[in-house]
């Protein structure tokens, strides 16, 4: 099973701050996908195939990476971005990272 390790577990960012979340895979994967989950709601696809923004996702978000190391970056933090972000791989069955909780400072 491919294990995904997300870091940090929790972080706080101020409005306007640049934020980078990372996801490391225990084995190489072809793509990484990211989901946003706000409190009390179901997850939403946020970034797919490493760097493609899902419909409606603001362009302050971006994704990058390859092999075993991937990241999600927010260029300028906004209030609405406070949520938990999960990475997920589908190269070998499907596994999720434990999530990064992003809070507003």
Options 17-25, 57-65, 69-77, 91-99: segment touching other proteins (CB under 8 A): 91-99
Cβ atoms of 6 and 69 within 8 Å: the answer is no
Residue 86: closest CA among 6, 24, 25: 6
Options 13-21, 60-68, 73-81, 84-92: segment touching other proteins (CB under 8 A): 84-92
Alpha-carbon distance of 27 to 11, in angstroms, equals: 26
Is 70 a binding residue for other proteins by CB under 8 A? The answer is: no
Instruction: Give residues in contact with other proteins (CB under 8 A).
Output: 31, 33, 35, 42-45, 48-49, 54, 86, 88, 90-91, 93-99
């Amino acid at each position: 099973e491919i294990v995904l390790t997300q870091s940090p577990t929790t972080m706080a960012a101020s409005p306007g701050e640049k934020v980078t979340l990372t996801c490391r895979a225990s084995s190489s994967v072809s793509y990484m996908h990211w989901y946003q989950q706000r409190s009390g709601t179901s997850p939403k696809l946020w970034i797919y195939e490493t760097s493609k923004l899902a419909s409606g996702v603001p362009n302050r978000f971006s994704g990058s990476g390859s092999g075993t190391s991937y990241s999600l970056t927010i260029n300028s933090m906004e209030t609405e971005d406070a949520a938990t972000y999960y990475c997920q791989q589908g190269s070998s069955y499907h596994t999720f990272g434990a999530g990064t909780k992003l809070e507003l400072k």
